């Protein structure tokens, strides 16, 4: 069987204590790795979507804090912790919707506070922690993949949205991890990829990743989703998530909600896939900030203007799919069956 593990790692901590990431802004035309030396550079990379996808930005932000530790000139533990808080505050401002970002930052800060001893001990501990987080991310994805693959049948055509693959995580992927695991089990799965305007993660990243790994896939325009569903050309929908709140609401890339509505209309099961770090069991849907990005993303395609100057633009980056449209949620802690709002708390602890 073909090796399906995505050999490219999206986010890495290097031996010279820098962070190395794939520059996703230039994919699919160029596969370029860039090195980041300071938390400010990592924050900028997250804001500009050099690195994107909820689990990937969670680990990247954590590595940003660990970089701040490495670069801190603090002679004592108290000053070092202050430097880390400053970096954490800057990293928190980058993107508001994916809860993984805040989870990653909080986890390394908690680690730093728990370490007794001089700054060197804290720096070492943070390095170990982010290496562990990166490994845990891949393991959680592989576990979810196996769990979620039970929902897919041999021959299924699966629609996704955005990129919830290896590129959105440290490696392997969430929604696409399920597709990978199904293939590893010998199932033949075809993936339908909506282009995902405005940033085109479907066309640029998912189409690249799936083609790179030899998956059978088909790119469609976002406007073709309804037609594809209506003509029975999608058996299931499998998407990632940026935040799942305690009421079972799923926040994911803009366009996910309309796919969920169409899926329900056409009797197609809708499955979000997300690791524990994407669940926000402290908030309800009305407490989540939906990121609004630059109008430029809408009025231009890859730098080229497609709309008149001065036209008013609304550019939300994410939307909410309510629990009643969700058939089941796949996580590394198990499958939350419908009704997901009622069943969430018994699976996600």
Active site residues: 242
By CB under 6 A, is residue 202 in contact with ligand MRU? no
Among 12, 52, 81, 285, binds ligand MRU (CB under 6 A): 52
By CB under 6 A, is residue 81 in contact with ligand MRU? no
The angle formed by the CA atoms of residues 73, 78 and 82, to the nearest 5 degrees, is 70
Distance separating alpha carbons of residues 206 and 3, to the nearest angstrom: 18
By CB under 6 A, is residue 53 in contact with ligand MRU? yes
Among 123, 143, 204, 253, binds ligand MRU (CB under 6 A): 253
Site for ligand MRU in 304-343 (CB under 6 A): 317
By CB under 6 A, is residue 54 in contact with ligand MRU? yes
Site for ligand MRU in 87-106 (CB under 6 A): 98
By CB under 6 A, is residue 206 in contact with ligand MRU? no
The angle formed by the CA atoms of residues 316, 318 and 322, to the nearest 5 degrees, is 125
The least distance separating ligand MRU from the CB of residue 124, rounded to whole angstroms, comes to 30
Q: Looking at beta carbons only, is 241 or 340 nearer to ligand MRU? A: 241
The least distance separating ligand MRU from the CB of residue 318, rounded to whole angstroms, comes to 6
The angle formed by the CA atoms of residues 227, 233 and 234, to the nearest 5 degrees, is 100
For the chain, report the end-to-end CA distance as a whole number of angstroms: 36
Could you list the residues that contact ligand MRU (CB under 6 A)?
A: 52-55, 98, 162, 164, 168-169, 174, 201, 240-242, 252-253, 317
């Amino acid at each position: 069987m073909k090796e399906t593990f995505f050999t490219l790692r999206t986010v890495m901590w290097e031996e010279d204590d820098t962070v190395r990431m794939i520059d996703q802004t230039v994919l699919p035309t160029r596969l370029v790795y860039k090195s980041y030396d300071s938390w400010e550079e990592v924050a900028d990379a997250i804001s500009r979507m050099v690195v994107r996808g909820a689990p990937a930005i969670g680990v990247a932000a954590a590595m940003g804090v660990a970089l701040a530790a490495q670069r801190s000139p603090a002679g004592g533990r108290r000053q070092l912790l202050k430097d880390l808080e400053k970096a954490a505050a800057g990293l928190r401002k980058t993107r508001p919707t994916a809860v993984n970002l805040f989870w990653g930052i909080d986890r390394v800060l908690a680690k730093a506070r728990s370490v007794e001893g001089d700054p060197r001990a804290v720096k070492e501990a943070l390095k170990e922690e982010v290496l562990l987080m990166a490994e845990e991310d891949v393991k959680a994805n592989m576990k979810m993949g196996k769990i979620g693959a039970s929902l897919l049948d041999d021959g299924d055509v699966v629609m996704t949205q955005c990129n919830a693959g290896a590129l959105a995580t440290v490696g392997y992927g969430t929604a696409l991890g399920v597709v990978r695991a199904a293939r590893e089990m010998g199932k033949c799965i075809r993936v339908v990829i909506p282009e995902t305007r405005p940033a085109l993660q479907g066309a640029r990243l998912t189409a690249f990743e799936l083609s790179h790994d030899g998956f059978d896939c088909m790119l469609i325009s976002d406007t073709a989703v309804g037609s594809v569903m209506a003509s029975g050309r999608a058996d299931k929908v499998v998407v990632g998530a940026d935040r799942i709140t305690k009421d079972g609401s799923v926040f994911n890339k803009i366009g996910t909600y309309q796919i969920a509505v169409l899926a329900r209309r056409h009797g197609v099961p809708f499955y979000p896939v997300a690791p524990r770090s994407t669940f926000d069991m402290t908030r309800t849907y009305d407490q989540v900030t939906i990121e609004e990005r630059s109008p430029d993303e809408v009025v231009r395609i890859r730098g080229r203007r497609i709309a008149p100057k001065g036209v008013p633009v609304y550019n939300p980056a994410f939307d909410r799919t309510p629990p009643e449209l969700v058939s089941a949620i796949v996580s590394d802690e198990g499958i939350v069956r419908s009704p997901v709002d009622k069943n969430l708390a018994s699976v996600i602890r």
